[in-house]
Structure 1
Amino acid sequence: MGLTGGIGSGKSAAAACFRDLGINVVDADWAARVVVEPGQPALAGIAEHFGADVLRDTGALDRARLRALIFDNPAERAWLEGLLHPLIREEIVRALDASESAYAILESPLLIESGQTALVDRVCVMDLPEALQLQRASARDGNDPEQIRKIMAAQLSREARLEKADDVLDNSGELTDLKSQVETLHQHYLQLAG
C-alpha cells in the first residue's frame, strides 16, 4: 500500500500509526538519503553536476543548498530526479521485498509523481487544507513560508492527488482522529491482504 501527501500533510504521523499496528513501513525519504550517502555514486554525480558547494565539510550532501538550487530551476530538478529516482526505486523494492508484516506501506511524498504507484496495490492520500499544510510544514521545519510554498508548488496539487487516491486519511483534526482512521484502514488492508 502506498501512503502519500504533500509536505506537512502528516505522512510521518500516519506511518507511525501503521508501525504501532505492526506494519512494516518503507520510507522513500529514507531510501533517498541512503542513495546519496558519502561514498555512493549518486553523491559524486550530484557534486560533479552542481559543484562542491552542495557538499558539507563532512562530505555529506547539503540538502538545504541543493533544495534551493533545484526548486528555483525545473530543468535542474528534472536532472536530479533522473539520476536519483531509479536508484531510490531499487532501494525501496529491496526493503518492500524484505517486509514480513501482513502488508507493507510505502511512505512517499512523490509516490504518484515518481511512478512509485507501480510498486503498490493501493494509494492512500493524506489530505488537509493547504493553509493548514503550509502552517504545519513551516512550524515543523522552521522554514520560511515562501520556501514551503515553492515546495508545495513543485509537488502534485491536492486535487490531483485526491483523484489518484483509493483511500484518504483526513488529517485536518487531532492525532487521535488520525489514529482512529488508520486503525479502520488497517482492518480494511488486513482483509485485502488475506
Structure 2
Amino acid sequence: MVKELSEMTLEELWELFPIILKEYNADYPKWYEIEKDNLLENFNDGIIVRINHIGSTAVSGIISKPTIDILMEISRDSNIAQIEDKLKSMQWNLMNSSETPSFRQTYNKGYTKYGFEEKVYHLHVRYVDDWSELYFRDYLIEHKEVAGEYVDLKMKLKDKYEHNRDAYTNEKAAFVDKYSKIAKVEYGNRYKLEINAISF
C-alpha cells in the first residue's frame, strides 16, 4: 500500500519529489492565469492586494523546475483563518506557515502520493510589501546573461542535491540575494505600494 503524503518522512518526500529541471514551457503563463483568475474570483472582497507570477517559470526561455510560483499579497487586516479555510476548499495544501520575521504561508497543488501531476503550483501568501522576488524576476527577464548564470548554477546544484530540496534552495540563496539587491537599486521602489493600491 502506498503511504499518504502526510505519513512520509522528509527523506521519502524528497525521493518522491526530486529536483527536476526542464526546458521552458510556453504554457506556463496560461497555467498561471488560470490559477490567478480562480484566486481573484474566490477572494473578491479586497483581501488580495496584488498577485504575481514569480520564480523561474515567470522568466521566458530559461530552464527551471516546472513549478508555477504565485505570490499573493494580502491586506494586513485579513482574517488568516478564513483565508486558510478558503484555500483548503480550493484544494490548496498548506506546506508551511510562519509569523517571524514576517507572516508567510506556502501552499501547493500538484503533489500526489504517486509523484508530481502535470501542473504543479506553489502559492506564497504574504502581507503586501516590497518583496525581493518581484525584483529578482524582473532582473532575470531584463538581464539575459544573469539569467544564464542562474541556470548554470541550478544545473550544478541539481546534480548535487537532486533529493535534498532544502540544500538546493539554500545554495542558491547568495546568488538570489545578490541580484535582488542590485535590482532594487536599479529599479527603485517599483513594487512599493500604498496600502490601498491594487495591482493585478
- Band the TM-score falls in, shorter-chain normalisation: under 0.3
- What TM-score, normalized by structure 2, do the two folds share? 0.25
**Comparing both chains, which one has the higher relative contact order based on Cα–Cα distances under 8 Å and sequence gaps of 6 or more?**
1
Q: Which structure's residues are more often strand, by fraction?
A: 2
